């Protein structure tokens, strides 16, 4: 995470560059430029502004963490949670433009994030036996979230499949209605609330949370923290940037999905591309923390990106879909439902189960990740993404 004046150039540079690209696209207009150029300006500009918003939210939460004397892992987790705000705003625009694709993007992001965690585990420092030690909160808390997410994905996907096969439910197995989405979203969100409360209560006061000495980091000094006025300013700027960049990415998503559909590509391909966009902010933060030697912070972001999608981003998407459907913002299915039950929506949920199972087993057994577990994660996650793209 970036801290202090030395870190401000990141969000300033990306924010200004992204805003310039978006404004240029608006001034030039698509009628006088090639479609690919106009779409590219919109997508790249929106992504840069969203990344700037992520940096601003991280600066705000990092300052709060320093003020409250949180250790680096807990502060990194909270910063990763804050970085979801721009993603949620961006997702809201995508859902309004292409609701089904927006849902697919949300769930596919879990697979992309899991693959990123597996790849990152190969870069971790290891002991003489080839084991990479995991931070205690990840071993004792995040693994429970992996198990819960796997169970939620499997149960929801299986129920949707059974509804479709037996024509069950109000919509005869064709869709989930707004009530279903509200209930599912609230249930998943409640898990994240409890998890954050437990993380802060159990681990925030510990200055040594690593499972091994290779990932230990010195505690930050309170004098490094920004003022409360600066923290509030970072947060407000982050929200404004989220709306501006998120709207641009939402427009880009609409154009991209339409172009891929006209070219004959399945919507799952567009969902995979957009999921990489959605994960980009967290991935850059993770890479930046690793480059600075802040391994615990990088792991907090890598693991948080996996757990926060099913328990923060997905609940938000489900609740927003239900509200959009009731308000008439998005079209309903032929049977009057909101989220259609089909091959794509069921498969992305069911295939989330093996990914979460592998993550849970790799870390929970001994608190370390060995080379075989790293290889297994990369292979399983890559195969999942491949089959979703090739046959989704």
- Partner residues linked to 193 by β-bridges: none
Q: Pick 114 or 4 by higher pLDDT.
A: 114
Q: Whose CA is closest to 128, among 372, 370, 296?
A: 370
Q: Please give the average per-residue pLDDT across 173-191, as a whole number.
A: 96
**What are 38's two structure tokens?**
């106009």
| pLDDT band for position 148 (cuts 50, 70, 90) | very high
**How confident is the prediction for the chain on average, in pLDDT?**
83
Instruction: Tell me the β-bridge partners of 133.
Output: 368
Is residue 131 classed as helix, strand or coil in its secondary structure?
coil
pLDDT at 210: 52
What pLDDT score was predicted for residue 318?
Answer: 97
**Contact status, residue 281 vs residue 48, Cβ threshold 8 Å:** no
Residue percentage of the chain with pLDDT more than 70: 87
Residues 10-36 have a mean pLDDT of: 75
- Interior CA angle at 112 toward 119 and 289, to 5°? 55
Mean pLDDT of 90-107: 88
Cβ burial, residue 234 (10 Å; 0-12/13-18/19+): buried
- For residue 81, what are the CA distances in angstroms to 76, 192, 275, 285? 9, 10, 17, 12
337: helix, strand or coil: coil
Sign of CA dihedral 192, 194, 198, 204: positive
Please tell me the distance from the alpha carbon of residue 183 to that of residue 186, in angstroms, as a whole number: 5
Q: Which CATH class is domain 5-391?
A: mainly alpha
The confidence score (pLDDT) of residue 126 equals 94
pTM of the model: 0.81
Q: What is the pLDDT of residues 228-280, one digit of tens each?
A: 888 888 888 887 887 788 778 767 877 777 787 788 887 788 888 878 777 77
């Amino acid at each position: 995470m970036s801290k202090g004046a030395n870190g401000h150039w990141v969000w300033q540079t990306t924010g200004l560059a992204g805003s310039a690209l978006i404004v240029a696209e608006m001034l030039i207009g698509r009628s006088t430029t090639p479609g690919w150029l106009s779409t590219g300006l919109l997508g790249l500009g929106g992504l840069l502004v969203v990344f700037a918003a992520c940096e601003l939210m991280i600066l705000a939460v990092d300052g709060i963490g320093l003020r409250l004397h949180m250790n680096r892992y807990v502060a990194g987790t909270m910063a990763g949670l804050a970085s979801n705000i721009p993603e949620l705003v961006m997702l809201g625009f995508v859902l309004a433009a292409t609701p089904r694709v927006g849902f697919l993007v949300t769930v596919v992001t879990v697979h992309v994030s899991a693959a990123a965690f597996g790849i990152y585990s190969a870069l971790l420092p290891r002991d003489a036996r080839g084991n990479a030690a995991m931070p205690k909160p990840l071993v004792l808390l995040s693994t429970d979230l992996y198990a819960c997410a796997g169970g939620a994905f499997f149960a929801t996907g299986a129920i949707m499949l059974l509804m479709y096969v037996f024509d069950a439910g109000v919509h005869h197995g064709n869709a989930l209605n707004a009530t279903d989405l509200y209930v599912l979203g609230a249930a998943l969100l409640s898990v994240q609330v409890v998890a954050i409360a437990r993380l802060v209560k159990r681990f925030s006061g510990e200055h040594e949370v690593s499972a091994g000495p290779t990932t230990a980091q010195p505690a930050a000094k309170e004098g490094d923290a920004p003022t409360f006025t600066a923290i509030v300013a970072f947060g407000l700027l982050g929200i404004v940037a989220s709306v501006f960049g998120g709207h641009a990415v939402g427009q880009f998503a609409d154009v991209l999905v339409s172009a891929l559909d006209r070219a004959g590509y399945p919507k799952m391909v567009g969902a995979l591309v957009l999921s990489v966009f959605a994960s980009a902010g967290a991935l850059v933060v993770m890479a930046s923390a690793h480059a600075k030697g802040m391994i615990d912070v990088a792991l907090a972001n890598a693991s948080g990106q996996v757990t926060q999608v099913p328990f923060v981003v997905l609940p938000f998407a489900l609740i927003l879909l239900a509200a959009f459907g009731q308000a008439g913002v998005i079209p309903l299915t032929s049977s009057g439902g909101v989220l259609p039950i089909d091959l794509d929506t069921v498969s992305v949920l069911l295939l989330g189960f093996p990914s979460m199972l592998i993550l849970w087993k790799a870390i929970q057994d001994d608190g370390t990740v060995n080379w075989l577990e790293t290889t297994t994660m990369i292979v399983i996650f890559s195969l999942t993404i491949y089959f979703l793209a090739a046959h989704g």
